[in-house]
Structures are given as structure tokens and as C-alpha cells.
Amino acid sequence: MKTIVRGMLVTVLAIGFGCTRPDWIDRTLVTVDVSGTWYGTGTGTVAGGSAAVVWLDLHQEGGNC
């Protein structure tokens, strides 16, 4: 009887671990194209007391989802 219960427990655990959820990165994929030039000002200051300007030039490689 104990052998049957242990076998059932192992089977249930094996099936349970086989049905785990996918990684979090699969649920957070970016599905829009953000290519282009983006700019703005930083919250800190650079030497001389002026605000820092930030420029990003983004190019997407690969397809959109």
C-alpha cells in the first residue's frame, strides 16, 4: 500500500512541476517599435549649474511581436 501511495505522489509531483508558468521575461516582451531619436533633460545638474540633456538614438533589430 505504501508503495502505491509513494508512486502516486511521485507522479503527481512530476506532472505538477511539468506545468509551471513561463519565465517572467516572456510576459514582458515589448510589442511596439520604439526606434527613433528620443531626448529630454536630466534631473541632475552638470558642472556650471545647467541641466543635463539626454539623447537616445534607438534602432530596433528583429521583428515586432
Q: Is the dihedral of CA 9, 14, 18, 23 positive or negative?
A: positive
Query: Is 48 domain-assigned?
Result: yes
Query: Is 18 domain-assigned?
Result: no
Query: Is 10 domain-assigned?
Result: no
Residue-wise pLDDT for 52-65, tens only, equals 788 889 887 765 55
Read off the DSSP letter of residue 49: S
Query: Is 17 domain-assigned?
Result: no
Looking at residues 35-43, what average pLDDT do you find?
Answer: 83
Question: CA geometry: angle at 54 spanning 48 and 60, to 5°?
Answer: 165
Query: Is 15 domain-assigned?
Result: no
Query: Is 43 domain-assigned?
Result: yes
Write down the pLDDT at residue 37.
92
Note the helical H segments in 1-65: 2-18, 24-27
Note down the domain range covering 43.
Answer: 35-59
Cα 37 vs. chain centroid, distance in angstroms? 23
Looking at residues 34-40, what average pLDDT do you find?
Answer: 87
Structural domains of the chain, count: 1
Query: Is 27 domain-assigned?
Result: no
